[in-house]
Amino acid sequence: MAYKLYTDKPNKFNCNIEVEGTSLAKSQVRLVIESDEMSFMFKGSIQNNGECEVIIPKTKNFLQEGNVGNMRLEVIADDVYFQPWSSDFSVVTNKKVTVQIAEQEEEKPKMRVQVVEQKEEPKPSKIVKDLSLEKQKASKSEKEQARRTYEHPGATVVFRGPNWTVIKIEGTSQLQKDAACFYGGSHESEKGESRWCTSSPGYDWWKRYLSKGPLYVILPNESEKLGQISGLPVERYQFHFPDSQFMDRDDRQVDLVGMLNGKLQELKDFFKPEFAKGLVNQNDKKVSIQIPDSAAGKFIALYGAKEIFDNLPDDITGLIIENKKSSAAIEIPPSIARFQQLETLMLDNIASSISDEISNCHKLNFISLPNNKQLESLPDSIGQLEELTFINIQGCSNNLQLPPSVLEKFDDIGNGLYFRKE
């Protein structure tokens, strides 16, 4: 229901404000009224006991009866900004609006707004709406402390090692925006801060990334060079696993595998669960891994092939692994037998051997093994796969031949392609 503003008498907006976790000393309050064509701001006053009053003159000189728009209450207490209440409004005659702010029982600074709309009848009925809002920005003192401890509201320190600290930003509230801007130095790269788009105060890139998953900020525990805005070390990194973005301060992709095997080695085990989450897209039964580009490809490079076969879901129906750059090959482990629903298997320039346990993948009907120069033989057990209709060994070693159990059931049509005989 829209709130009423009056054309023919002054509007008195009264509030009782109680805040936990911060002080009302030197607080400011204002009421902002906006329509499609204009915007007005009316400052109010707050007494020591929390009583607040905002006087709005008769609206007939700037808003006419029938005009509509939006109005909101803004409070700044100890450098903490609140917008605890907003509503649509309509301009009428001789109506009254009062606002009561009740105590919010939270450790962090919060407000509860109880808005009562009063009709003109002697005993008006009341419509009550409860709204609550967590604080949206860190205070100056909190930011000062974060320069020393790296702990900023809206973010969590999730790892402290001998040399590096990891901060996790998760969620899409204004407090997470404030944290993303702080750790990136508000995009002021010329002042020793970052070029991360997530730290630009005037844009919503932070929300686009955080809606997909958390941002991780990595900071050295000791540094002589500090950013002029945040006071944080100039050297810093930001990781976003859902988009496979692992960026330095200048927003350039880093050699993640090299760094986690080198200067960031103490973080290697910490980030393993995040890599594992990216192995399979949600509700997708087909897994496609590109080495070294995808997050799953980086997982293999960091933790080994056996680990990725152990971490994939049992019920995948397709598995494609393409090695586009590295010449290193891996052994396909016995744990491949877990994939009882697997129908398609493609291993491109990646396999040096394949376990006999592949025969337990009873639903396999397509095996493609191109460009595996180090693959010298295939297990005879492949001949036991009754659903198998196609085999591709193009680009493999000249010494590679299919076992007799396969040759007796498949036709060689040339170029390393084999189809099951009818």
- Which of 170, 179, 134, 181 minimizes the C-alpha distance to 21? 134
Q: What is the pLDDT of residue 89?
A: 83
What residue type is 89 in one-letter code?
Answer: F
Q: What is the pLDDT of residue 17?
A: 76
Domains of the chain: 3-134 (2.60.40.10), 140-270 (no CATH), 279-420 (3.80.10)
Q: What is the pLDDT of residue 113?
A: 52
Q: What is the pLDDT of residue 114?
A: 54
- CB burial of 57-78 (b: ≥16 within 10 Å; e: otherwise) equals eebeeebeeebebbbebbbebb
Per-residue pLDDT tens digits of the chain, which is 422 residues long: 777 888 888 888 887 777 776 667 677 888 888 876 677 778 888 887 778 888 888 887 778 888 888 888 887 776 676 777 788 888 888 755 455 655 555 555 555 555 555 455 454 444 334 444 456 788 899 999 999 999 999 999 999 999 999 999 999 999 999 999 999 999 999 999 999 999 998 899 999 999 999 999 999 999 999 999 999 999 999 999 888 899 999 999 999 889 999 999 999 999 988 877 766 665 668 888 887 766 677 777 788 777 878 888 889 999 998 888 766 688 899 999 999 999 999 999 999 999 999 999 999 999 999 999 999 999 999 999 999 999 999 999 988 888 999 999 999 999 899 999 98
SS3 sequence, the chain?
Answer: CCEEEECCCCEEEEEECCCCCCCCCCCEEEEEEECCCCEEEEECEECCCCEEEEEECCHHHCCCCCCEEEEEEEEEECCEEEEEEEEEEEEECCCEEEEEEECCCCCCCEEEEEEEEECCCCCCCEEEEEEEEECCCCCHHHHHHHHHHCCCCCCEEEEECCCEEEEEECCCCHHHHHHHHHHHHHHCHHHCCCCCHHHCCCCCHHHHHHCCCCEEEEEECCCCCECCCCCCECCCEEEEHHHCEEECCCCCECCHHHHHCCCCHHHCCCCHHHHHHCCCCCCCCEEEEEECCCHHHHHHHHHCHHHHHHHCCCCCCEEEEEECCCCCCEEECHHHHHCCCCCEEEEECCEEEECHHHHHCCCCCEEECCCCCCCCCCCHHHHHCCCCCEEECCCCCCCCCCCHHHHCCEEEEECCEEEECC
Q: What is the pLDDT of residue 228?
A: 95
Task: State the pTM of this model.
Answer: 0.56
Region of residue 154 (left: phi > 0; alpha: psi -120 to 50; beta: else): left
